[in-house]
Structure 1
Amino acid sequence: MNTALAIATIALVVVAWVLLERRRVGHEFEETFRGRASLSDDDFYGKFYEGSGVSREVIVGVREVLAHELQVDVSRMAPDDDFSRNLRFLLDSDSMMDVALVEGLEKRFGIVISDREAENTKTVNDIIVLVHGKSLVA
């Protein structure tokens, strides 16, 4: 087998795997969020965080980072959604996704998140509270 054919075969296998993985994640995403209403940033903030002391900017920023890094529609996520439980499938598709999320949050908010803090951050609310706390001292 010549080198060009081997490279083309490997590329085809990788593309097929990526497409199948996206389909699997999409299916699990729909199963997880079936029946949940989509919430705009304002609706999410009003329903879960208004009067909590957490700024709308933190809420919007965290949701933007999650949407960008995970490449999913976050409008149906709730604060108690857990990346170690019902959202695990989002991190399983890419072994570096958790690192990308931390880096995205650090860059967006100009903060530093320690490895220990990242390990102890499981839910969407945990992320919001962590960023909020760090934003107050930044």
Structure 2
Amino acid sequence: MTTSTLPQQPTESPVADLFLAALTRRDFAAMTACLAPEVRLRGLIPPGPFDAVGPGPAVDRFRGWFGGPDDFTVLDAGSDRVGGKLALHWLVRMQPVHAPGAARVAEQRIFLTTEQDRITTIDLLCSGWQPAE
């Protein structure tokens, strides 16, 4: 089950809108198509920082967090601009298929740059998985 809440106003970047829409659908192929060949994803997550270069390694991070058989719901999502960067955020809920009482939530915020209709850098901050209330 996938439920999505997209930003009410599109960003100034169609590729950012496509990336966020692909994330809400867990469409990792569409996410990959949004990324430049040299994309760099830098993140700060529990338990610490990471760095991934290239579309495959970058999207593999998202697949690791949000892929799999668990029910996935986007509770909130939005976008803004901070100087020369686009800022996107989403709050997701994952419900294990075989453990109904073990739902968890996480919020991620990213700041990205684009060039020639592709995302070239993503800086990510994540709350880490928290028990859903």
Larger Cα Rg: Structure 1 or Structure 2? 1
Q: TM-score, normalising length from structure 2? A: 0.30
Greater helix fraction, Structure 1 or Structure 2: 1
Greater strand fraction, Structure 1 or Structure 2: 2
Q: TM-score, normalising length from structure 1? A: 0.30
